[in-house]
């Protein structure tokens, strides 16, 4: 079980086919404001408990609680199920520790049309409250399985998914690679820890290592920003491939 906070995230959890909301806690004020949410809970025969603002604050992970908290079952996401569906675009985060980054990558992957985000190695739990909040509901839209890094790389290769890693010293420049058509899929983007990037052996296991061009004086891009660039370049490549 895990907690889902806020009316938007709770609404997405209620609509999710992969998660089951088992209970809802709301303040009187929130119940009045969120009539649609109350109707959705009633339609799903989900128990709703009215709580005080103090109780709602104790359940909250935010400075300004919104008075709506759900208890949901964790989805049984697995890498095998994801790969069996012949995905075209995946994100693999390796040892990524910051929950805000992970949640933002999940949200970005959802927006770019990715099929799943795989949390490999010692990456943060996808049900961490900050991950749930930063994903802005996208956690409930696509699978987010956890897996061993080596097992993930082996499984991707067995299923014919091209693994592309990002690195400051990548052997090829992202947009040049995109122009060759190599990103038309299926592709899995491999991104590493915020501070240290990918371990050398993990990067070496990728089919291709690319760098995102830096035109100004910044040393590098934030992990979530780098993921956004890579995902949208790949989504565009796939769209070009399927356009008559």
| Domain CATH for 189 | 3.40.1280.10
More confident: 241 or 176: 176
Q: Per-residue confidence at 2, pLDDT binned at 50, 70, 90?
A: very high
* Residue that wins the pLDDT comparison between 1 and 244: 1
**CATH number of the domain that residue 47 is part of:** 3.30.1330.30
What local confidence, expressed as pLDDT, does residue 33 receive? 95
Whether residues 106 and 181 fall in one domain? yes
- Count the domains in the chain: 2
**219 shares its domain with 103:** yes
Same domain for 26 and 140: no
Cross-strand partners of 25 = 49, 69
Domain final residue, candidates 73, 96, 117: 73
- 56 shares its domain with 122: no
Q: Is the pLDDT of residue 242 over 70?
A: no
Q: What pLDDT does 185 receive?
A: 77
Cβ neighbours for 170, distance < 8 A, ≥ 6 positions apart? 209, 210, 211
Q: How confident is the model at residue 24 (pLDDT cuts 50, 70, 90)?
A: very high
Same domain for 27 and 88, yes or no, is: no
Angle, in degrees to the nearest 10, between helices 35-43 and 7-15: 30
Question: Do 43 and 93 share a domain, yes or no?
Answer: no
Lay out the sheet containing 172-173: strands in order across: 146-147, 116-120, 89-94, 187-191, 162-166, 208-211, 172-173
Instruction: Decide if pLDDT at 243 tops 60.
Output: no
Judgement on whether residues 64 and 83 belong to the same structural domain of the protein: no
* pLDDT for res 38: 95
Given 73, 104, 124, which residue is the final one in a domain? 73
Claim to verify: residue 27 and residue 87 sit in the same structural domain = no
Which domain-ending residue is among 37, 56, 73? 73
- Position 62 scores a pLDDT of 83
Whether the Cβ atoms of residue 75 and residue 143 lie closer than 8 Å to each other: yes
127 and 32 within one domain: no
Q: Do 87 and 172 belong together in one domain?
A: yes
* Bridge partners, residue 71, by sequence: 3, 23
**Joined tokens for residue 95:** 């040892």
Same domain, 29 and 114: no
pLDDT in tens, 78-122: 999 999 999 999 999 999 999 999 999 999 999 999 999 999 999
Q: Alpha-carbon torsion 197, 203, 206, 211, what sign?
A: positive
**183-238, pLDDT tens digit by residue?**
987 999 999 987 788 999 999 999 999 999 999 998 888 999 999 999 999 998 87
Over 70: is that where the pLDDT of 149 sits?
A: yes
Q: Do residue 95 and residue 160 come from a single domain?
A: yes
Which domain, by its residues, includes 25?
2-73
CA dihedral 122, 125, 131, 132 (to 10 degrees): 160
């Amino acid at each position: 079980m895990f907690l889902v906070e806020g009316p938007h995230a709770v609404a997405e959890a209620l609509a999710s086919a992969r998660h089951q909301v088992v209970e809802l806690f709301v303040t009187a004020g929130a119940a009045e404001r969120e009539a649609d949410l109350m109707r959705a809970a009633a339609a799903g025969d989900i128990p709703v408990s009215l709580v005080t603002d103090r109780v709602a604050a104790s359940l909250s992970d935010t400075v300004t609680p919104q008075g709506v908290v759900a208890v949901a079952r964790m989805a049984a996401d697995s890498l095998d199920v994801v790969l069996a569906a012949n995905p075209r675009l995946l994100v693999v985060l390796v040892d990524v520790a910051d929950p805000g980054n992970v949640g933002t990558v999940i949200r970005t992957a959802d927006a770019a049309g990715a099929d799943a985000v795989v949390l490999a190695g010692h990456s943060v739990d996808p049900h961490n409250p900050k991950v749930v909040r930063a994903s802005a509901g996208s956690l409930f839209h696509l699978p987010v399985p956890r897996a061993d890094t080596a097992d993930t790389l082996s499984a991707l290769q067995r299923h014919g998914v091209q693994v592309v890693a990002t690195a400051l010293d990548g052997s090829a420049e992202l947009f040049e690679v995109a122009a060759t058509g190599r990103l038309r899929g299926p592709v899995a983007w491999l991104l590493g820890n915020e501070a240290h990037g990918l371990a050398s052996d993990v990067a070496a296991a990728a089919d291709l290592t690319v760098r995102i061009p830096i035109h100004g004086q910044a040393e590098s891009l934030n992990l979530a920003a780098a993921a956004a660039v890579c995902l949208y370049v790949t989504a565009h490549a796939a769209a070009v491939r399927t356009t008559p």
